[in-house]
Amino acid sequence: MAFGGFGTRRVLQGLAAWGILSTTAVSIFILGGEADPDKCAIIKMALGLIGIWCFAGGLVMRLGRDRFGGWAQGLPVDWRWRFVLFCTLFALIEEAVTTSMTNLGPWLGAATDAARITCSTNYFKVISTSVAVFIPWFICWAWLLGRYDFKPLQVTLLFGLTGTLAETLSFGLQNLIQVGMWVFVYGLMVYLPAHGVPAGRDVCPPRWWHWPLAVFLPFVFIFPFVAVVLYRFGQEIWCRIHPTPGPTP
């Protein structure tokens, strides 16, 4: 179960090949027929995301990983905080790409506002419902990396599987078919930050059970965030139902 660096690279290469194959097949099926224009626009948005974030972004990250890692490790900030902050930054960049693709809907042939790959065309609304949820995941991984010696490619793969699972739970089992895309959409958020984690820290080699733990544990870290959101939402509803009386004239 515990892949070494070479094994993890092979798994990621296999997922990349599957992602290309499955995305190509879906694109040909939808774009090649008389499909709904909104569905065609969504496919084009997804292809734009893959091209910009996964291929172009992934290539730039791959070429600059050593320079980034050396620069990041030289910053006078605790590596855990640094990891969370950089992961958040890359998540914000990824969502900027997805929101931009959604806003290009009319130019991609969309017939209605239903053609989108984000919950909104407003970037700040998008990140308030996505990146805000990812931050507990990043904190979880900072905790894991403080105890176990996961390598950057392993972090990329495992975080990508967490993202795939989240997409499946949120939007349906069909997202499992696109695991080759989701692993890189999510995995690239943590790829470079993982290179900024110091190699000489006092940690243990991960055992086989740490791998499934690393996939599912980020969901546990969301619970406190969800509890705070629900508490604030409940307060707002209570204030609307029971408004505070104003001063007596």
Apex 38 CA angle, 35 and 44, nearest 5: 90
Number of domains in the chain: 1
Strand partners, 148: 204
Look at the alpha carbons of 89, 94, 98, 101 in this order and tell me if their dihedral is positive or negative.
Answer: positive
pLDDT digits (tens, 9 = 90+) for 46-68: 999 999 999 999 999 999 999 99
The reported pLDDT for the residue numbered 94 is: 98
By three-state DSSP, how is residue 57 classified?
Answer: helix
Q: Is residue 180 part of a domain?
A: yes
Q: Is residue 213 part of a domain?
A: yes
What is the amino acid identity at position 25?
A: A
Q: Is residue 245 part of a domain?
A: no
**Mean predicted confidence (pLDDT) in 202-227:** 89
Q: Is residue 246 part of a domain?
A: no
Q: Is the pLDDT assigned to residue 180 strictly greater than 90?
A: yes
Q: Is the pLDDT assigned to residue 43 strictly greater than 70?
A: yes
The reported pLDDT for the residue numbered 176 is: 94
Q: Is residue 123 part of a domain?
A: yes
The closest alpha carbon to 186, from 124, 142, 130, belongs to 130
Q: Is the pLDDT assigned to residue 113 strictly greater than 50?
A: yes
Q: Is the pLDDT assigned to residue 249 strictly greater than 60?
A: no
Q: Is residue 249 part of a domain?
A: no
Q: Is the pLDDT assigned to residue 96 strictly greater than 80?
A: yes
Average pLDDT, the chain: 90
Q: Is residue 118 part of a domain?
A: yes
Q: Is the pLDDT assigned to residue 137 strictly greater than 60?
A: yes
216 lies in which domain range? 5-240
By three-state DSSP, how is residue 204 classified?
Answer: strand
Q: Is residue 248 part of a domain?
A: no
